Amino acid sequence: MKFLCLIRAEKVMEQMPKADADAHFEEYRRFTEELRKSGHYVACNRLVPSAAATTVRVRQGKISAIDGPYAETKEQLGGYYVVETRDLSEAIQLAAKIPGARLGSVEVREVAEDEQTLRALGMLAPEVTS
Amino acid sequence: MSEAAAAGAREIAASVYRTESRRVFATLIRLLGDFDVAEEALHDAFRAALEQWPRDGVPANPRAWLVSAGRFKAIDGIRRRARFVALDDVAEQVEAIPDEASSWDEDSIEDDRMRLVFTCCHPALAPDAQVALTLREVCGLTTEEIAQAYLTSAPTMAQRIVRAKGKIRDARIPYQVPTPEDLPERLDSVLRVVYLVFNEGYSASSGDSVTRLDLSAEAIRLGRLLLELLPEPEVMGLLALMLVQESRRAARTSPSGDLILLADQDRALWNRDLIAEGSALVEKALLSRRFGPYSLQAAIAALHGEAPSADATDWVEIVGLYDVLMRIDPSPVVELNRAVAVAMRDGPAAGLALIDAILARGDLRDYHLAHAAHADMSRRLGKAAQARVSYERAIALTRQGPEQRFLERRLAELPV
Q: What is the pLDDT along chain A (130 residues), one digit of tens a residue?
A: 999 999 988 767 777 888 888 898 899 999 999 899 888 999 999 887 766 677 777 778 777 777 766 555 567 888 999 999 999 999 998 998 999 888 888 999 999 988 888 888 888 877 665 5
Reply yes or no on whether the pLDDT at B398 is more than 70.
yes
Rounded Cα–Cα distance for residues A44 and A10 (Å):
20
Kindly list the distances between the CA atom of residue B37 and the CA atoms of A90, A115, B51, B178, in Å, as whole numbers in the listed order. Answer: 11, 34, 21, 23
Reply yes or no on whether the pLDDT at B400 is more than 90.
no
Reply yes or no on whether the pLDDT at B148 is more than 90.
no
User: Which of A36, A41, A87, A89 would best serve as a mutation to test chain B binding (most B beta carbons within 10 A)?
Assistant: A89
Rounded Cα–Cα distance for residues B139 and B146 (Å):
10
Q: How high is the pLDDT of residue B318?
A: 96
Q: What is the mean pLDDT of residues B75-102?
A: 61
Of A38, A39, A92, the CB nearest to B158: A92
Q: How high is the pLDDT of residue B131?
A: 93
Sheet containing A2-9: order of strands: A41-46, A76-84, A2-9, A105-110
Reply yes or no on whether the pLDDT at B347 is more than 80.
yes
Reply yes or no on whether the pLDDT at B86 is more than 70.
no
Indicate yes or no: CB of B142 within 8 angstroms of CB of A38.
no
Q: What is the mean pLDDT of residues B26-32?
A: 88
Q: How far is B48 from chain A (nearest CA, A)?
A: 10
Q: Is the pTM of this model over 0.80?
A: no
Reply yes or no on whether the pLDDT at B65 is more than 70.
yes
Of A39, A89, A110, the CB nearest to B161: A89
Domain boundaries, chain A: 2-49+75-120
What SS3 class is residue A29?
helix
Of A38, A40, A87, the CB nearest to B143: A87
Q: How far is A48 from chain B (nearest CA, A)?
A: 28
What SS3 class is residue A10?
coil
Q: What is the CATH number of domain A2-49+75-120?
A: 3.30.70.1060
Q: Which residues contact B258 (CB under 8 A, 6 or more apart)?
A: B402, B405, B406
Indicate yes or no: CB of A38 within 8 angstroms of CB of B40.
yes
Rounded Cα–Cα distance for residues B24 and A92 (Å):
22
Q: What is the mean pLDDT of residues B125-139?
A: 92
What SS3 class is residue A42?
strand
Q: How far is A128 from chain B (nearest CA, A)?
A: 18
Q: Look at A101 and B353; give whichever has higher pLDDT.
A: B353
In chain A, count of helices (H) and strands (E)?
A: 4, 6
Other CB atoms within a 10 A radius of the CB of residue B284 amount to: 16
Q: For the ranges A44-58, B4-18, B28-42, B129-143, which has the lowest average pLDDT?
A: A44-58
Of B47, B80, B155, the CB nearest to A88: B155
Indicate yes or no: CB of A87 within 8 angstroms of CB of B144.
yes
Round the average pLDDT of chain B to a whole number and report it: 87
Q: What is the mean pLDDT of residues B61-79?
A: 87
Chain A hits for B136, Cβ within 8 Å: 89
Chain A hits for B80, Cβ within 8 Å: 34
User: Which of A88, A106, A110, A114 would best serve as a mutation to test chain B binding (most B beta carbons within 10 A)?
Assistant: A88
Kindly list the distances between the CA atom of residue B20 and the CA atoms of A88, B24, B44, in Å, as whole numbers in the listed order. Answer: 22, 6, 15
Rounded Cα–Cα distance for residues A77 and A66 (Å):
17
Confidence of residue B34 (pLDDT cuts 50, 70, 90): confident
Q: What is the ipTM of this complex?
A: 0.77
Q: How high is the pLDDT of residue B316?
A: 96
Reply yes or no on whether the pLDDT at B210 is more than 50.
no
When computed from its CA atoms, the radius of gyration of chain B, rounded to whole angstroms, is: 26
Indicate yes or no: CB of B77 within 8 angstroms of CB of A34.
yes
Max mean pLDDT range (A71-80, B81-90, B294-303)? B294-303
Rounded Cα–Cα distance for residues B19 and B39 (Å):
16
Q: What is the mean pLDDT of residues B5-27?
A: 87
Single-letter code of the amino acid located at B346: D
Residue A69, preceding peptide bond in cis (omega within 30° of 0): yes
Reply yes or no on whether the pLDDT at B206 is more than 50.
no
Q: How high is the pLDDT of residue B224?
A: 93
Rounded Cα–Cα distance for residues A53 and A55 (Å):
6
Rounded Cα–Cα distance for residues B291 and B236 (Å):
9
Q: How far is A119 from chain B (nearest CA, A)?
A: 23
Q: How high is the pLDDT of residue B208?
A: 47
Reply yes or no on whether the pLDDT at B406 is more than 60.
yes
Kindly list the distances between the CA atom of residue B49 and the CA atoms of B9, B46, B58, B87, B138, in Å, as whole numbers in the listed order. Answer: 9, 5, 8, 31, 22
Parallel/antiparallel/unpaired status of strands A41-46 and A2-9: unpaired
Give pLDDT tens digits for B183-205: 888 998 999 999 988 988 876 54
Q: For the ranges B109-118, B213-222, B259-268, which has the lowest average pLDDT?
A: B109-118
Q: How high is the pLDDT of residue B150?
A: 82
Confidence of residue B209 (pLDDT cuts 50, 70, 90): very low
Q: How high is the pLDDT of residue B283?
A: 95
Q: What is the mean pLDDT of residues B324-340?
A: 94
Q: What is the total residue count of chain B?
A: 416
Count Cβ–Cβ pairs < 8 Å, chain A vs chain B. Answer: 39
Q: How high is the pLDDT of residue B252?
A: 85
Q: Look at B379 and B19; give whichever has higher pLDDT.
A: B379
Chain A hits for B144, Cβ within 8 Å: 1, 87-88
Rounded Cα–Cα distance for residues A52 and A55 (Å):
9
Indicate yes or no: CB of A88 within 8 angstroms of CB of B36.
no
Of B40, B80, B144, the CB nearest to A88: B144
